[in-house]
Structure 1
Amino acid sequence: MRILSTERPVASRLKSWLVHPRLLLAVKTGVAVGIAWLIAPLMPGVADDYPYYAPLGALISMSPTLMSSVKHGVQTLAALAIGILLAGIVIFLAEPNVITISLVIGVGVLIAGSRWLTTGGDYVAVAALFVLIVGGQNADAYSIGYLVQMSVGITVGLAVNMIVLPPLNFSAAVLQLASFRTQLSTHMREIAAALVETWPPEHEQWAGRSGALAETADEVRAAVRHADESRRLNPRARLHQRDLNRDYEDLTALETMTFHVRDLTGVLSASIWEGPFPAELPEGLREPLSTTLCAVADVLIARNDGKDLTPSVTAADDALVTLLARLDDQSDLSPSSLSPAASVAMDLRRILAIMRQADAQSSEQS
């Protein structure tokens, strides 16, 4: 039995590695480069003298998504053509020297920053430099061979990417969104636990996690964007349809909730330890705050589990009502003593409103 329990994780890891998108991309890139190298010597005319640029073109054109592969390939060819044209102007008007080469490279770098050349723009300056320095006296032949062989390689790369279609990245986006909800829920539960510990609490990791939450939000947005790009021009998207607009809406809701979670984290940490601003949290409000934080965290977990949010939202609303009632009972205290708890209560109310709205939109779209 011990041998089986050891083999299963190894087999699972091996399977996940074998189906990893990066491995597929690596295999396709190797195949595309090999095919380009075989085809390159078959090109007629002067292009036959520069076969090594075909594998380079194939390498450049391979990307994790079909859309990015097409975009990178087309923009690289456009950049090469512009660079060759710049070099041709120098050769026609003046001799290549330190001044003219420097001037052309500077212009090429400026053009590379254009919004029309977002991925292959760097090849403007590269092409101009190669034509002027490597091409030399045979600049015309070199330019033709360079452009033709790069075109061959890019065409081969796009063909391989079309034959063996890149995978869709929907699952990664869904997992990232679910993981983000779990992280926010866990964070709020840790704050809730700290509020009912012996004061001041011993557990304070949550107080310094505000930046990590923002970084996670950026990572999740990148995952959703990658999933969106992976379906463009990809025939697989017709067989595996997914409403990514809903994922973007979920992401926007989570980003807004993260803002409020970071806000209440700063307020509560300042009320426990010395912070950038004075804050005080009355002892009688710590327990209802803890209860409400846990209840709101439960809503996020229910959303992850695909459950009906009504029971968890109702429970969170009840906890919030109790918290607000406790705030009213503390009316004898100064407003400055109540403001931190009131601020946190408002953040929790907004988070609940966001969850309620997101659930309503999801129900309408279903």
Structure 2
Amino acid sequence: MTVREEATAAADRVRWEAAAVGRTARNAVRYSGPERDTMVQSLKAAGAAIAAWALVGWWLRAPQALLAPWTALALVDATVYRSLRSGLQQYAVILVGTLAAAAALSLTGENTLGSMALVLPPLVLIGTYRRLGTQGIYGATTALFVITYSSNDSSQIGNRLLETAVGAAIGIAVNALILPPVHLRSVRDQLQRLPRESADLLHAIAEGSREGWSPADAQGWHDRARRLETILSAVKEARSRSAESTRLNPARKLRRLETLQPPPAADDRWSSVADHLRAITRTLGAVAGEDSPLTPPGEAFFTCYADLADGLADLCAVEARELGDPGTSGEDAGQGEETREEAARRAREAYREVAESFRGQAGTAAAVGGGLLVETRQLLSTLAGLEQEEQEGQGEAE
């Protein structure tokens, strides 16, 4: 690859990343979902840190007020239960770090380098203890604060612990009382991202099938398909977090959130969709560019394939809307079912046209087209039940 090609590829990656950031920002503004929850929690954490500094540093004028906002910032966690658990863990390791640093200063005659050499190795090792979670490192960092300022007398140690306790109390209170996070809808929100992202990807593939695509385009599609696995992991995490988020959370009573979660079988279904999309984008990448050793099927094949990709994207978009509005009933539910059936019918017809255009392919073009047909057929079956329709058609013929 030449320097110019590397620069072009790097620019494409930067543009792709910027577009992904833009999509995330738009989702945070437009949709009530994980992106907006992340934004709210970030603002709460910043607010808790500012409040802790205002109380301890500005009003009480504590000498080491930094510990209060630092602790408050860390304890605005994903759930109230997790904030309380993290608060206890952090306070325990900070207590150990403070006392160990004070003892090291006494033993070394307040020699900073000697105290660090004495206390940091065991504290860093203790910080790796699994049950301390992400809070373990705070023991060593607290010891650094104490050793750096040589604050080993009892009054200064008491101030450090008091500042930490105040910061922890503020962080936990902000998380529990100001828009306390309840993740009962998180599973649905995360799962909705799968059909939404899949629809966007399939529309991009359809456009590329009509107009042609470059290796950079194909790599971008494949990266987007692989990132669906990240969303699936987020769905799994959301299922665990949704149960945890109701523990010790006042919002469970203040806001009656009884959102029905999609069944776990939906996770397996979309995992299958992600697998097929990765295979499709990998095949498209193999025939991208003039240097490819494989011959792609003809223009007629990809014209039909573009219609199929658009049909599959419409199916994904319908499912994304259904996941976003699970409470529809009556006439609206009937219209939604009709929309789904119409999208499925168009996708099946488009698949038949692609299969018809595949006839006459030979050599590597047949291998590429066959690979796309197999994966797309399985994708269509997952989304629209192609086998079921074929079986019904065979039954009618008999």
Deviations 1:109-146 (A, max 9, x none): 232233223332222112223344434552x4433332
Correspondence for 2:218 among 207, 210, 234: 207
Q: Which residue of 2 aligns with 1:347?
A: 375
- Give the counterpart letter for 2:93 in structure 1: A
- With over 3 angstroms needed to count, the CA separation of the structure-2 counterparts of 1:227 and 1:273, relative to structure 1, is same
2:347 aligned residue: 316
Identity %: 20
Q: 1:263 aligns with which of 268, 275, 279?
A: 279
**CA gap 1:31/1:229 in 2 versus in 1, 3 angstroms:** farther
2: CA distance, partners of 1:256 / 1:127? 47
> What letter is aligned with 1:211?
D
Tell me the amino acid that sits aligned with residue 127 of structure 1.
T
Q: Could you tell me how far apart the structure 2 residues matched to 1:33 and 1:227 are?
A: 35
Pairing of 1:217-366 with structure 2 (within 5 A): 218=230, 222=234, 225=237, 229=241, 231-233=245-247, 234-237=249-252, 239-244=256-261, 246=263, 250=266, 253-254=269-270, 256-274=272-290, 277-306=293-322, 307-308=336-337, 309-327=340-358, 329-330=359-360, 333-334=362-363, 336-355=364-383
Q: Structure 1 residue 343: deviation in Å?
A: 1.0
Change in Cα spacing, 1:337 to 1:65, as seen in structure 2 (3 Å) is same
Asked whether the equivalents of residues 124 and 140 of structure 2 are also in contact (C-alpha less than 8 Å), the reply is yes
* Counterpart check, 1:129 vs 2:141: no
Equivalent positions of 1:162-177 (< 5 A) are: 162-168=176-182, 177=191
Instruction: Mark the runs of 5 or more structure 1 residues left unpaired by the alignment.
Output: 1-12, 42-47, 358-366
| Residues 50 and 187 of structure 1, relative CA distance in 2, 3 Å threshold | closer
1:180-191 matches, within 5 Å, as 180-191=194-205
Write the distance in 2 (CA, Å) between the matches of 1:116 and 1:154: 19
Task: Give the aligned length.
Answer: 329
- Please give the secondary structure, in 1, of the residue aligned with 2:135: coil
CA offset at residue 150 of structure 1?
1.5
How many angstroms apart in 2 are the aligned matches of 1:269 and 1:118?
Answer: 41
1:142 and 2:156 equivalent?
Answer: yes
Tell me the TM-score normalised to structure 1 length: 0.69
Q: Which residue of 2 aligns with 1:4?
A: none
Report the aligned-residue RMSD. 4.2
Aligned CA distance change for structure 1 residues 132 and 206 (closer, same or farther; 3 Å): closer
Cα offsets for 1:307-329 (capped at 9, x unmatched)? 334443344334334434554x3
TM-score using structure 2 length:
0.65
Cα distance in 1 between the residues matched to 2:152 and 2:283: 71
